[in-house]
Structure 1
Amino acid sequence: MGIPFYRKAVEFQQRYCGGKTIVNTFQTNGILINDDWATFFREHDFLVGVSIDGDAALHDEWRVTRSGKPTHEKVENAVRCLAQHDVEFNTLTVVNRTNMHHPVQVYRYLKSIGSRYMQFIPLVERCGENGLAQPQDKHIAMTPWSVDSLQFGQFLNAVFDIWIREDIGDIGIQLFEQTLAAWCGLPPQVCVFAPTCGSAFAMEMNGDVYNCDHFVYPQFKLGNIHQKTLRQMNQGEQNRQFGSDKQRSMAQECHRCQWKFACYGGCPKHRFLPSASGATNHNYLCAGYQAFFSHTATAMSAMRTLYEKGISPAEIKSIFV
């Protein structure tokens, strides 16, 4: 699907929006971005997310072409092209078994290419004899490229320590902002840390709609956009059940955890470790999340106090200088 497809999509939006404001975002690995794409994005005010996992040594460890060729140079050129055309972009970094050991290097690099909003996504994949595991599969080995749970927390802690001293207020980091929102009693910005699921559909090219992009499996298909409206699928019993299952299936440890308000058991896709009850519903990333929430608690509490006084939480930077 090239530019003509998306240009037609924008035309349909403008024709049928009925006065509503539509915001378009576009996630890409960047390898095909050129001046034509950048011009289109700028013309229609697209926000572009670029997947990049660090500098060349870190990025090219896993992000290669089908023929095994590195992709970092193309991605960096894409970022440069977007910046030259004044296209708003952010970065999505998958934290994996390689770059999890280099948090400072990753963060400094992302700053150097002009990223002002960052997402750090943990790579958690399991692999059985017949390929990647299904959600219901238990006792399946982790892939060798998956992030270690505790190491993920330590990665976040190292980035947080730099960010709060140097860049808070200038650079946004999704997980840090989400955690502060939880401390301040604000609605969750990320479905992973919401009490319930069911608000982040995934749609395939043929119109099939699924509960979530982490659950694109037959048993989680809600229907097809050619037969049902999104409203019907959203309000249907299957989606309500999917949403409430997150809370209902939470591990016993989560209900007792002091960080429940910030985590709510994390993403159900990652709940496959044995819990105290014997059920396999404990989140694989629990150790990392707990390390992060504990490490940042003092700063989060201080920022909440600033927020409650009507002062920007970014003012905390002066305390850490």
Structure 2
Amino acid sequence: MDFAWQGGEPTLAGLDFYRKAVAYQQQYAEGKTVTNSFQTNAIAINRQWADFFAENRFLIGVSVDGIAEIHDKYRIAVNGQPTFERVKKSIALLREYNVDFNTLTVVNDQNYDKGRETYQALKALGSTFLQFIPIVEVDARCLTPAKGHYSPPADAVLSPFSVPADGYGHFMNAVFDAWVKEDVGSIYIREFDSLLGTWMGYPASTCVQATTCGQALIIETNGDIYSCDHYVYPAYLLGNIANTSLVKLATSRQQQRFGNAKQEKLTQMCQQCEVKALCQGGCPKHRIVPQAGEKHKHNYLCASYKHFFYHTAPVMQAMSKIIQSGGVAADIMPLLNKFNSH
């Protein structure tokens, strides 16, 4: 049984809250294996937190944007002060206490052209499990409630911190080029792992590139369950766990409709695209671009995904063949180095 603690900022609940949560887990586990993951800005982590995480084997996700000045552009404390140095010290504490951690980095308007530098900065922090997510945020002033749905208008304006439409692809390509030279098998990047799995015929391990949605339900502090953590709007409220079991809510017709809509509302452009099998239209929340002659809106990040999938295709194909022949993904590095030396 997996518990994923996130917020807001989960450390605000206080350490005693999690001590009590772990005690309840142990009391009611009934022989089941219980795991805890914890997504945090890491500002509040001290030795007491680190010791608790280590003792109870929490997996910590640290939100950090790699390059100090980029991180401090948007990740500032309530007093307006930068936070990078505090996060850096917290990561050092996690490493000192041998706490498993990964890093989550937002790709935005400030760092989309700094993929390699961001990757090197995260390596310097000691991260070996990385995730990169693009931020695409419609300006709240453009949103008008439509029966509780998320429904951006055709002329929606994005918030200024959003990544450019082709910027995420450029960022990921730069990271990939740095990673594939020397870090395959020693550093793990979620997006690359999922893509390699897809090339090998496995289902995508990330919801963004999965065929359907609906596997990332979210629970609020009052027990309300929503279809997805990106869709906490009235129309996507499934019910309350105090009144209905989680299994019933997760398998309800409403949730099935939500999940199937990912495929049912693809544009014709997506349906006919060469990389559809790798992309599956991306996250539905990013489908905000109207297209002439199309009933449904197109994904804002389409250009990025195409850049990324085409750029990585030759190496991904080669790695999948290596693995299927009994090798390991890291075997690609000497082959590439030999090829590039000629």
TM interval, short-chain normalised: over 0.9
CA contact (8 A) 2:142 2:156 kept: no
Q: After superposition, where does 1:54-65 map in structure 2 within 5 Å? A: 54-65=66-77
CA distance in 1, matches of 2:255, 2:280: 19
Give the superposition deviation at 1:27: 0.2
Pairing partner for 2:60 from 26, 34, 48: 48
Deviation string, structure 1 residues 270-309 (Cα, Å, up to 9, x no partner): 0111235333421111100000000001001101111211
Give the superposition deviation at 1:55: 2.2
CA distance in 2, matches of 1:274, 1:247: 17
Pairing partner for 1:289 from 278, 290, 305: 305
Give the superposition deviation at 1:26: 0.3
* 2:205 equivalent to 1:193: no
Give the superposition deviation at 1:317: 1.0
Partner of 2:93: 81
Q: Secondary structure at the match of 1:53?
A: coil
The worse-fitting range, judged by mean Cα deviation, of 154-163 and 306-315 is 306-315
* 2:35 equivalent to 1:23: yes
CA distance in 2, matches of 1:47, 1:109: 21
Give the superposition deviation at 1:130: 6.5
CA contact (8 A) 1:154 1:288 kept: yes
CA distance in 1, matches of 2:333, 2:285: 35
Partner of 1:151: 167
Partner of 1:102: 114
The worse-fitting range, judged by mean Cα deviation, of 303-312 and 125-134 is 125-134
CA distance in 1, matches of 2:144, 2:312: 34
CA distance in 2, matches of 1:30, 1:128: 27
Deviation string, structure 1 residues 120-176 (Cα, Å, up to 9, x no partner): 000110114267996212221011110012121011001101101110100000111
Partner of 1:135: 150
CA contact (8 A) 1:223 1:233 kept: yes
Partner of 1:14: 26
Listed as ranges, the gaps of 5+ residues in structure 2 are 1-12, 338-342
TM-score by length of 1: 0.97
Could you tell me which amino acid in structure 1 is paired with residue 261 of structure 2? D
Could you tell me which amino acid in structure 2 is paired with residue 54 of structure 1? G
Q: After superposition, where does 1:105-116 map in structure 2 within 5 Å? A: 105-116=117-128
Listed as ranges, the gaps of 5+ residues in structure 1 are none
Could you tell me which amino acid in structure 2 is paired with residue 219 of structure 1? A
Give the superposition deviation at 1:91: 0.2
Q: After superposition, where does 1:169-188 map in structure 2 within 5 Å? A: 169-188=185-204
Deviation string, structure 1 residues 170-223 (Cα, Å, up to 9, x no partner): 000011111111100112111111100111111111111101000011110111
Give the superposition deviation at 1:66: 2.9
Partner of 2:177: 161
CA distance in 2, matches of 1:192, 1:112: 28
Deviation string, structure 1 residues 49-78 (Cα, Å, up to 9, x no partner): 000012221100111123321111111111
What value does the CA root-mean-square deviation take over the aligned residues? 1.4
Partner of 2:291: 275
Q: Percent identity?
A: 45
Pairing partner for 1:314 from 327, 330, 336: 330
CA contact (8 A) 1:126 1:132 kept: no
CA distance in 2, matches of 1:229, 1:22: 19
